Amino acid sequence: MTLLIGGTGKTGRRVADRLIQQGTDIRVASRHSDTRFDWEDESSWPAALDGQRAVYITFYPDLGLPGAAGKVGALADLAATNGVEHLVLLSGRGEPVARAAEQRVKDSGTGWTIVTCSWFAQNFSEDFLAGAAAGGDIRLPAGDVAEPFVDADDIADVVAAALTDPDRHRGRHYELTGPRALTFAEVAAELSRASGREIRYTAISHEEYEGILRDAGLPVELGDMFRGILDGRNAAPADGVRQALGRPARDFAEYAARAAETGVWSVPQVR
């Protein structure tokens, strides 16, 4: 069996769909699934890992936050003790703290694949920026820095491949991005074209953004990540999708067209 930690999230549910279509037995584990898994409750881990051959690890809320490496390392060590043969870790591109978590997985004694990703395109339609995009104003402390946004469907394709063909992907570190970098203003223009509505980007200060996070009940430490990763270090696209799958990454415009068909940006969302 294959365990999907966070299997109901943006990438996890997509990976689950792919594995089910391929006939792979899966166990979905999250705080609210039938198989409970809570990063803050280590007593929930053994039952989730029991009998699993491979594990997809996603850390909530973000691998770049302090303390994440210790928890991921403890899980990786427990997985190795329980006979898990292969771990696939979802990591963040350009996040120095995340490197420690990656190393803990590598040192666990199991087979491993690291999937390091740029910003998800789906953040604008399925996550914390969906309401802002639907409201017509994306407010972030990103300035004019460009980011090669990656499609979550590409991530899921790579992860599913690593879980079902571990021999081919063992010991590989894939850096996944989209094929071109866009500023947030260019993202807003793409979303406007796809939705037929005006969606703009407004650059704000880090202090203003921390207030937004606080109001949303999210860790203000997420604001600190903006100070680091949105400094241009991640602007260059990488070729991890092609390395893993032999095809190019999906473009942001393709994602925007698909998302617009769902009507997600048609009217402002009630939050």
For 129-158, how does the pLDDT look when each residue is reduced to its tens digit (9 = 90+)? 999 999 999 999 988 999 999 999 999 999
Q: Over range 21-44, report the average pLDDT.
A: 96
Q: Over range 15-33, report the average pLDDT.
A: 96
CB 184 within 8 A of CB 138: yes
| pLDDT beyond 50 at 234 | yes
| pLDDT beyond 90 at 10 | yes
Q: What is the mean pLDDT of the chain?
A: 93
C-alpha span between 38 and 44 (Å, rounded): 6
The single residue listed with the structure tokens 């394709």 is 157
Phi, psi angle pair for 43, to nearest 5°: -65, -15
pLDDT tens digits along 240-251: 999 999 999 999
CB 6 within 8 A of CB 15: no
pLDDT tens digits along 56-72: 999 988 887 889 999 99
| pLDDT beyond 70 at 228 | no
pTM of the entire structure?
A: 0.93
C-alpha span between 174 and 115 (Å, rounded): 5
pLDDT at 270: 47
C-alpha span between 89 and 48 (Å, rounded): 16
Choices 3.20.20.70, 3.40.50.720, 3.30.460.20, 3.30.70.640: CATH for 2-261: 3.40.50.720
| pLDDT beyond 80 at 226 | no
| DSSP result, 34-99 | SEE-BTTBGGGHHHHHTT-SEEEE--SS-TTSTTHHHHHHHHHHHHHHTT--EEEEEEETT-HHHH
Expressed in percent and rounded to 5, the helix, strand and coil fractions of the chain are 45, 20, 40
C-alpha span between 164 and 21 (Å, rounded): 12
Specify the higher pLDDT residue, 271 or 52. Answer: 52
Q: Over range 252-258, report the average pLDDT.
A: 98
pLDDT at 268: 62
| pLDDT beyond 60 at 269 | no
| pLDDT beyond 70 at 197 | yes
C-alpha span between 113 and 131 (Å, rounded): 33
Question: Which pLDDT band holds residue 225 (cuts at 50, 70, 90)?
Answer: low
Give the chain's end-to-end CA distance (angstroms, integer): 38
Phi, psi angle pair for 204, to nearest 5°: -125, 170
Question: Which pLDDT band holds residue 220 (cuts at 50, 70, 90)?
Answer: confident
CB 226 within 8 A of CB 206: yes
Sign of CA dihedral 187, 192, 195, 199: positive
Q: Where are the domains of the chain?
A: 2-261
- H/E segment holding residue 223: helix 221-229
Q: Nearest CA to 5 among 20, 22, 23, 26?
A: 26
Residues with Cβ within 8 Å of residue 240, at least 6 apart in sequence? 115, 116, 158, 174, 175, 176, 177
Helices then strands, counting H and E runs in the chain, come out as 13, 11
